Structure 1
Amino acid sequence: MPMVIGVAAGVVLAAIIVLICLFKLMWRVAEPNEALVISGSKHKTEGLEEGMGFRIVTGRGTLVMPGVQAVRKMSLDLNETELLVDCVTHQGIPLKVRGVVIFKVGDDFVSIANAARRFLDQQKLMSERVHNVFAGHLRSIVGGLTVEDMIRDREKLTGQTRAACGTEMEKLGLIVDSLQIHEIEDPTGYMKNLAMPHAAAVQRDARIAQAQANLQATEAEQAAFARMSEATRDSEILQAGYQAERDKAAASSRQAGPLADAAARQEVVVQETRVAELEAQRREQQLQADVRKPADAAAYERRTSAEAERDARISAAEAKAKETELAAAAEASRVKSAAAAEAEATKARGAASASATRATGEAEAAATQARGLAEAESAKAKGLAEAEAMKARAEALAQNQEAVVAQQLAENWPEIVRAGAEAFGNVEHMVVLNGADGMADMFAKALTMGGTGLGLARQLLASMNSENAANPASAQLNGAVTPPPRSEKIPVRDDK
C-alpha cells in the first residue's frame, strides 16, 4: 500500500512538472516595445478583418501551440533615416535638401498588421523604404516652390511633405514622429547672391550707424573737452582770485609786523613821556620836601610840642592819643612831601635834558650852515681864480701868439711826429741814397713841404681859440688843447 501511494505521488509530481514545462513552452509574453504576431490561429483580433490567418498580441501574454502556431516579434521602437535629396525649384534652381525623419510602427493593431505584412522579415529595409517615400514627395513639393518661399517659410515645406507622405506611411503601418529640414544647400550660389543686396544694405546701414555714432561721440568728446576747458578756466580764475587774496593777506601780515612795531614804539614813547613827566613831578616834590618842607616841619614840630605840653597838662591819656595821631599824620605828610620833592626834581632834570638836546641841535645846524657857506666860498674863490687865469692866458695869447703856439707845439710834439710818420705808412719799399742824413731831410720835408707842421699848428691855434670862445672855463680847467685831426698821408717819391 505505501508503495502504491509513493508511485502515485511520483506520477502526480512528474505530471505537474511536465505541465509546468509545457506551460512555459507554450506561454509567450509581449514586451512593451514589441508586438507578437501569431500565425496559424483562427481567433479574431479586434479591429482586423476575419480570416487574416494571424493574430496580434501587445503588452500581455498568450498561449501558443507549438507546432501548430508560429510566433514572431514586431519591434515598436523608433527608427531614423537621413534625407539627402537633390531637388529643383520652380525657378529651375538645383538645391540639396538635408533632413531627418523619425518614425515607428503604429501602436494600433491595423498599423501593426500592415507593417507585419510588409516588413516582418525585412525590418532592416524599413528605413530605406521610408527614405524613398519622403525623397519622392520632397522633390515634388520643392518643384512647386521658389527659393524665396523655402527660405522664408521652411515650416510650410515640412508640413506639406509630412501631409503628402501621411497616406503612404499609414498604408505601410508607420507613423511619423518628427520631420526636420536641417539644411538647404545651394550649389549655384543663388541664395548667396539673393542675400548680397540685403547684406549690402545691412552693411550700409551699419556703416551709416557707425558714422553717426562716431559723429555723436566726436561731438560729445568736443563738448566734454570744451566743458573741461571751461572748468579749467573757471578753476584757474578762482585760484587766481584765491592767490590774490592770499597775497593780500600775506602783504597785510607782512605790514602788520612793522605797523605793530611802530605802534609799540609809539606806545613806548608815550609811556616814556609820561614816566618823564612823573619823574619830573617827583623830583619837583622832592625839592619841595628837601628845601621848603623842612622849615615847615620844624615850625610845625615846635607848635606841636607846645600843643602837646598844653594838652599834657589837661589829660595825660588824651595827650598820648593825640601824640600818636599826630605822629601818624606827620609820617603821611613826610611821605607826601618826599614824593612831591622827587617829582619836582624829575621835572627839573627833564627840562634840563630838553634844553641840552635843543642846544645840541642848534649847534649842529649852525655847524652844517657854516660848512655849506665855507664850501660855497671855496667854490666861488676857485671859479674866480680860474676865470682870472683864463683871462691872463687870453691876454698873453693876444700879446704873444707865437710863444703860445710854440708852447702848444712843444706840448703836442709827439702827436705832430706821429702825424708826420704816418706819411710813410703806405710806402712798401723806400731807398735812401745818403743814409741817416737823407732820412732826416726826408722827414723834415714831410713835416714842412706838405704843410703838416704848420697846418697842425694852425689847427691847434684854431681849436684853442674856438674852445676858449665856446667854453672858456672848461678850456682853462682842462689845461690842454684837443689834438687836431691827422693830416692826409704825404706820398713819398721813390728815387732809386
Structure 2
Amino acid sequence: MTGLLVVAGAALAVVVVLFVLFRLTWRVAEPNEALIISGLRDRGTPEGVSESLGFRIVTGKGTLVLPGIQTVRRLSLDLREAELEIECVTHQGIPLGVRGVVIYKVGDDYASIANAARRFLDQQADMNQRVHNVFAGHLRAIVGSMTVEEMIRDREKLTQLTRESSGTEMEKLGLIVDSLQIQEIVDPTGYITNLGRPHNAAVQSQARIAQAGADREATEREQEAEALKAEAVRASSVKQAGYQAEIDRAAADARQAGPLSEATAKQQVVVQETRVAELEAQREEQRLQATIRKPADAHAYEQTTLAKAERDARISAAEAHAKEVELQAVANSQRVKVEAGADAERVRLAAGAEAEHV
C-alpha cells in the first residue's frame, strides 16, 4: 500500500512539473500582435525569413519557447496615428503650413513584420516620429512643385501624390498606410484670404442685388395686397350700405302698413254703416207711406223746408269735415284719403236718403 502511494505521488509530481514547464515554455500571440522569437535557428518560418534574419515570427497562434535559450518579444500590429504639422513653401514662394494625419500599421505579411521588427522592435514608441519625418520630407517636396491655387482646388491630388511618393519608403519600414488626410492649410501671409477677396466681393454684390430685388418685389406684393384689401373694404361698405337701405325701406313699409290697414278697415265700416242707413231709410219710407204720408201732406212744406235746411247743414258739415280730412292727408295721405272718402260716401248716402224721404 505504501509503495502504491509513493508511485502515485511521484506520478502526480511529474505531471505538475510537466505542466509548470509547459506554462513556462508556451507563448501565445494575440490577434493584434506578432511574437518575435530569437535564439535557435528555426527552418519552419515561411519564405525563409528565419534563414535570412535569424529569428522566428509567430502570429495568431501559440509556440514553444526554450527559456534561457530563446527570447520572445512582442510587436504590436494595432493601428497608429501620426499628426503632421509641416511648414512648406509653394512653387510661387508662398509659405504655408500643412496640417494632417496619417493612420498606419505594421503590415500583416511576414516580410513587413520582419522589416518593422528590425527597425522598431525596441523603439515602438518612436514610430510616430519616424513616420512624421518620412511624410514631412515628401510633403515639402510635393508642395514645392504646386501652386497655392492648385492645392486649394485639388487637395485630393496633394494627398495622392504624397501617399504615392512615401509608399516605397513606408514599405521598406514594414508599414502600410491605411489613411492620409490633409486637414488644414494654414496661410500665415494671408495669400489665400486675399485670393478669395474678389470672388467674395462678387458674391456679396450679387447677394445685395438679390436682396434688393427681393425687397422690391416684397414691397410691390405688399402694395398690391393693401390695394386688394382697400378694394375689398370698399366693396363691403357698398354692400352694407345697400343692405341698410333695404332694411330702412322695409321698416318704413312696415310702419306704413299699420295705418293703411286701419284706414282700410274704417272705410269698410263706413260702407257697411251706409248700407245699414239705406235699409233703415227704405223701411222708414215704407212706414211713412203706410201710416203718415196722408196726414203729413199738410205738414210737408214745413218738413221739406226743415229737411232742406238739415241737408244743407249736413252738407256744410260734411264739406268742413272733408276739408279737415284733406288737411290731415298731408301728413298721412293714404289713411286720411281712405277715411275722408268713407265719410263723404256716408254723408252723401245719408243726404240722399233724407232727400228721398222728403
User: 1:208: Cα distance to partner?
Assistant: 1.0
Question: Which residue number in structure 2 is paired with residue 359 of structure 1?
Answer: 312
Return the alpha-carbon distance in structure 2 between the equivalents of residues 353 and 182 of structure 1. Answer: 140
Question: Which residue number in structure 2 is paired with residue 269 of structure 1?
Answer: 270
Question: Which residue number in structure 1 is paired with residue 254 of structure 2?
Answer: 253
Matched, 1:67 2:68: yes
Matched, 1:46 2:46: yes
The 8 Å contact of residues 90 and 145 in structure 1, kept in 2 or not, is answered as yes
Return the alpha-carbon distance in structure 2 between the equivalents of residues 94 and 77 of structure 1. Answer: 35
User: 1:362: Cα distance to partner?
Assistant: 6.6
Question: Which residue number in structure 1 is paired with residue 342 of structure 2?
Answer: none
Return the alpha-carbon distance in structure 2 between the equivalents of residues 53 and 270 of structure 1. Answer: 153
Q: Secondary structure in 1 aligned to 2:183?
A: strand
User: 1:130: Cα distance to partner?
Assistant: 0.5
CA separation of 1:251 and 1:117: change in aligned 2, threshold 3 A: same
Query: For 1:160-239, what aligned pairs fall within 5 Å after superposition?
Result: 160-239=161-240
Amino acid of the structure 1 residue aligned with 2:19: I
Matched, 1:130 2:131: yes
Question: Which residue number in structure 1 is paired with residue 299 of structure 2?
Answer: none
Question: Which residue number in structure 1 is paired with residue 328 of structure 2?
Answer: none
User: 1:357: Cα distance to partner?
Assistant: 5.7
CA separation of 1:277 and 1:22: change in aligned 2, threshold 3 A: same
CA separation of 1:15 and 1:359: change in aligned 2, threshold 3 A: same
Stretches of structure 2 that go unaligned for 5 or more consecutive residues are 294-303, 319-358
Return the alpha-carbon distance in structure 1 between the equivalents of residues 166 and 306 of structure 2. Answer: 146
Q: Secondary structure in 2 aligned to 1:68?
A: coil
Amino acid of the structure 2 residue aligned with 1:21: V
Return the alpha-carbon distance in structure 1 between the equivalents of residues 169 and 57 of structure 2. Answer: 22
Identify which range, 55-64 or 266-275, moves more after superposition. 266-275
User: 1:198: Cα distance to partner?
Assistant: 1.4
Question: Which residue number in structure 2 is paired with residue 24 of structure 1?
Answer: 23
Return the alpha-carbon distance in structure 1 between the equivalents of residues 306 and 177 of structure 2. Answer: 141
CA separation of 1:154 and 1:357: change in aligned 2, threshold 3 A: farther
Please report the TM-score for the alignment, with normalisation by the length of structure 2. Answer: 0.78
Structure 1 vs Structure 2: percent identity of aligned residues?
67
CA separation of 1:63 and 1:270: change in aligned 2, threshold 3 A: same
Q: Secondary structure in 2 aligned to 1:114?
A: helix
Query: For 1:66-85, what aligned pairs fall within 5 Å after superposition?
Result: 66-85=67-86
Bigger radius of gyration: 1
Q: Secondary structure in 2 aligned to 1:145?
A: coil
Deviation string 1:339-396 (CA, Å, 9 cap, x unpaired) is xxxxxxxxxxxx999967633257789xxxxxxxxxxxxxxxxxxxxxxxxxxxxxxx
Question: Which residue number in structure 2 is paired with residue 157 of structure 1?
Answer: 158
Q: Secondary structure in 2 aligned to 1:96?
A: strand
Return the alpha-carbon distance in structure 2 between the equivalents of residues 7 and 84 of structure 1. Answer: 72
Question: Which residue number in structure 1 is paired with residue 34 of structure 2?
Answer: 35
Deviation string 1:90-131 (CA, Å, 9 cap, x unpaired) is 121111111111111111111111100000000000000001
Question: Which residue number in structure 2 is paired with residue 481 of structure 1?
Answer: none
The 8 Å contact of residues 105 and 173 in structure 1, kept in 2 or not, is answered as yes
Amino acid of the structure 2 residue aligned with 1:192: T
Question: Which residue number in structure 2 is paired with residue 6 of structure 1?
Answer: 5
Deviation string 1:307-358 (CA, Å, 9 cap, x unpaired) is xxxxxxxxxxxxxxxxxxxxxxxxxxxxxxxxxxxxxxxxxxxx99996763
User: 1:279: Cα distance to partner?
Assistant: 3.2
Amino acid of the structure 2 residue aligned with 1:148: E
User: 1:6: Cα distance to partner?
Assistant: 3.2
User: 1:30: Cα distance to partner?
Assistant: 0.6
Query: For 1:390-429, what aligned pairs fall within 5 Å after superposition?
Result: none
CA separation of 1:27 and 1:363: change in aligned 2, threshold 3 A: closer
Return the alpha-carbon distance in structure 2 between the equivalents of residues 148 and 290 of structure 1. Answer: 148
CA separation of 1:274 and 1:125: change in aligned 2, threshold 3 A: same
CA RMSD of aligned residues (A): 2.6
User: 1:217: Cα distance to partner?
Assistant: 0.9
Q: Secondary structure in 2 aligned to 1:188?
A: coil
